[in-house]
Copies of this chain bind each other. A is one copy, B any other.
Amino acid sequence: MSKTPITSLGEFGLIDHLTRNITHYHKETLKGVGDDTAVAAFSKEDQVLLTKDLLVEGVHFNTMYTPLKHLGYKSIAVNLSDIYAMNGTPTQVIIGVAISSRYTVEAMEELYAGMKLACEKYKVDMVGGDTTTSVSGLTISVTAMGKVSQNNITYRSGANTDDLICVSGNLGGAYAGLLVLEREKEVYKANPGVQPDLSKYNYVLERQLKPEPRKDITEIFSRLQITPTAMIDVSDGLASEILHICKSSKKGAAIYEEKIPVDMQTAGVGHEFEIDPTTLALNGGEDYELLFTISQKDYEKIKDLEDISIIGHITNNPQQADLITTSENVVPLKAQGWDAFKKEEE
């Protein structure tokens, strides 16, 4: 039997490969693999959304610098983000935790306290849990269920030529926070007694450790009566997500570097680490902002909203996404985003 390393395919390649030619038996199944969530239509009014994310110790988090309460909060937040990315409302979460004997009841209480805090903030019902042992480390598996009306559901696949490409908040901050934490970890290993002053990094650290999914953006859509034509959450970096929308919508995109929103603190950390702010935004990941496209007719409704940036437009070139740089060069975007399988090779 041949032995192909997983890294030769990467996460998306592997999923595509393994789920090719999947048969669906239920007419209620509207969407399987390939969007932020799966979609099932059990009722005439509301469609059911289902999504799941795994967080693995040593791959997605490091307990040396991630407080368990934050980790619990984040494990819920990243799943809710997928539901919001369908323009839906999360309703229930179900939790799976595998823990080694190194973890105590008190540690689990911290983890669950963070999960409950996120459930409370976003009004989501924790409806079940499977807790078991692991041989080593902590693995958290959260599944979120949500609902959305047939008229409001937003897939990745609906972008039309000339639609405006918009993004909420700002990008690159979560990765900037990770850079700082990884550096401090090495400093701490060398000098265990030293307590670093991280106050000047507070914003990027919060972006990394306690991301907030953008429920408020879906509320703005509802209030302004906008339904985006396509939407995805930014978990792997702007470049990767734009390419997902282009691929699903069979369209292209043009993004303007000068329009990409980056916070000053993120830019400052980029400066320290000699990484261009645009690179942080394009490839950083874990920002959990919403990237969406809207029809030009909705321009007036959103143009003055402070927390939404129009960064480009959809083109007719299938799957070709270009970055127009500040110096007016045109650079094809590549998905060099955070990939769990690439990370392993680093």
Chain A interface residues (CB < 8 Å from chain B): 1-9, 11, 14-15, 17-19, 22-26, 28-29, 31-33, 37-38, 40, 42-46, 48, 50-54, 56-60, 91-92, 94-99, 101, 103-106, 108-109, 112, 116, 119-120, 123-137, 139, 141, 143, 145, 147, 340-341, 343-344
- Measured in the bound complex, the distance between the Cα atoms of B53 and A328 in whole Å is 52
The answer to whether A128 touches B6, judged by C-beta atoms less than 8 angstroms apart, is: no
**Of residues A5, A97, A143, which shows the largest number of chain B Cβ atoms within 10 Å of its Cβ?**
A143
How far in angstroms is the closest Cβ of chain B from A135? 4
A141 contact from B96, B108, B136, Cβ within 8 A: B96
- Measured in the bound complex, the distance between the Cα atoms of B139 and A58 in whole Å is 14
The answer to whether B56 touches A106, judged by C-beta atoms less than 8 angstroms apart, is: no
How far in angstroms is the closest Cβ of chain B from A100? 9
CB-nearest residue of chain B to A115: B18
A133-B343 contact, Cβ under 8 Å, with A6-B99, A120-B23: yes
How far in angstroms is the closest Cβ of chain B from A245? 18
- Measured in the bound complex, the distance between the Cα atoms of B132 and A261 in whole Å is 29
The answer to whether A42 touches B147, judged by C-beta atoms less than 8 angstroms apart, is: yes
How far in angstroms is the closest Cβ of chain B from A29? 4
- Measured in the bound complex, the distance between the Cα atoms of B53 and A341 in whole Å is 24
The answer to whether B131 touches A15, judged by C-beta atoms less than 8 angstroms apart, is: yes
- Measured in the bound complex, the distance between the Cα atoms of B139 and A197 in whole Å is 37
The answer to whether B133 touches A136, judged by C-beta atoms less than 8 angstroms apart, is: no
**Of residues A8, A56, A97, which shows the largest number of chain B Cβ atoms within 10 Å of its Cβ?**
A56
A105 contact from B5, B25, B141, Cβ within 8 A: B5
